[in-house]
Amino acid sequence: MTIKVAVAGASGYAGGEILRLLLGHPSYLSGDLEIGALTAGSSAGTPLTDLMPHLPQLADRVMEDTTPEILAGHAVVFLALPHGHSAAIGKALEDTIVIDCAADFRLQEAGEWEHYYGSEHQGTWPYGIPEMPGHREQLQGATRIAVPGCFPTGATLAALPAVAAGLVVPDLAIVSITGVSGAGKKASVGMLGSEVMGSLKAYNTAGKHRHTPEVIQNLSEVTDGEVSVSFTPILAPLPRGILTTITAPLKQGVTQDVAYETYRAFYADETFVHLLPTGQQPQTQNVLGSNMCHVQVEVDERAGVLLLTSAIDNLTKGTGGAAVQCMNLALGIDEAAGLPQAAVAP
């Protein structure tokens, strides 16, 4: 039976990344997966090739309106829509696996959603970081999935083993440097080349960024202690990539060997998390276009902190790759299918 897949919001960066990965998926290449409706908002009626000439296999396709009627009848629907637009469409799609790349169903606490997003909380769906304890089992066979945010993906995978094993006091200072594609494809003066080239800028600082409660929620699952997060995102003149550094107070008796072995054991069986050799640091260029998260852990004895570093491609492991990874789990096929480990270099 052929699996028919639709992408709502296919004209954006996340939608385009999902399509790029689906075109290389073994089920697509074998004919077992079909790419169905490609929908958009203001771009409806536009040939896809005008928007995404890097996808020649779909050059003859035209963007359709994003409506439940057009999306109905597909086995899987990816929602790559702005925050707050997924709930109505998701509720209208029955007998369909709906994978939401927005934030609508990530948070468990209604108060946190309302504080950061300013609208009514619509509920919580299984959360799509399979590497978190218990989440792979929740995603297997799921029909509703919330894809994580890009910042929380890099930060969670960097901090998770340390918090779970009690290597640190869970009082984390997180700094993430991101490329401009994380802001989406919409026109914005602040994203113009003349505004970002040759410049770095912190934004949504001092607890204002919407991904802060998501990181806290994730790490709170693996500790009984209260998790505190100070998160500072920094915009850099890069198309893709997130480099995250985290410092947290070190528990007594934790040595470099203990910390490194904790991370090695935690991620030993994870295809898409790579603990780098001691002395080697994650770099965004080494995960470009891949579904990988590169991680490093170091004890700073003089400062009394644990330093955690990760690198991801925000459009792949941070969004589109995570969505396809979740689709694979929901469909019961190889979790790694269609997802590259090798990056593009140089």
pLDDT tens digits for range 286-298: 999 999 999 999 9
Residue 184: what pLDDT?
64
Average pLDDT over every residue of 151-177: 97
* pLDDT for position 88: 86
| pLDDT tens for each residue of 299-320 | 999 999 999 999 999 999 999 9
Q: Phi and psi of 257, rounded to 5°?
A: -65, -40
The verdict on whether 293 is a catalytic residue reads no
How far apart, in whole angstroms, are the C-alpha atoms of residue 94 and residue 35? 19
Residue type, 285: Q
Residue type, 335: E
Domain range 151-312, CATH architecture: 2-Layer Sandwich (3.30)
Catalytic residue chosen out of the listed positions 101, 150, 293, 326: 150
User: pTM for the full model?
Assistant: 0.93
Residue 187: pLDDT above 90? no
Buried residues in 35-69 as b, exposed as e (16+ CB within 10 A): bbbbbbeebbeeebeebbeebeebeebebbebebe
Mean pLDDT of 136-153: 96
What was the pLDDT predicted at 302? 94
Closest CA to 227 of 119, 124, 152, 122: 152
pLDDT for the residue numbered 298: 98
DSSP conformational letter for 108:
S
Residue 26 has pLDDT above 80, yes or no: yes
Please give the pLDDT value at position 84.
Answer: 81
Q: For residue 331, what are its two tokens?
A: 């469909």
pLDDT of residue 191: 63
pLDDT at position 306, please?
A: 98
Name the residue ranges covered by the structural domains of the chain.
3-148+318-331, 151-312
Contacts of 5 (CB under 8 A, 6+ apart): 22, 33, 34, 35, 36, 74, 75, 76, 77, 78, 327
273 touches 311 (CB < 8 A) = no
Instruction: Judge contact between 199 and 234, C-beta under 8 A.
Output: no
The CATH code for residues 3-148+318-331 is: 3.40.50.720
Write out pLDDT tens, residues 210-235.
899 999 999 999 999 899 999 999 99
**Residue 20's beta-bridge partner residues?**
none
The pLDDT of residue 194 is above 90: no
Average pLDDT, the chain: 93
Of 71, 54, 63, residue with least CA distance to 20: 54
Q: Pick from 138, 334, 156, 164: which is nearest to 265 by CA?
A: 164
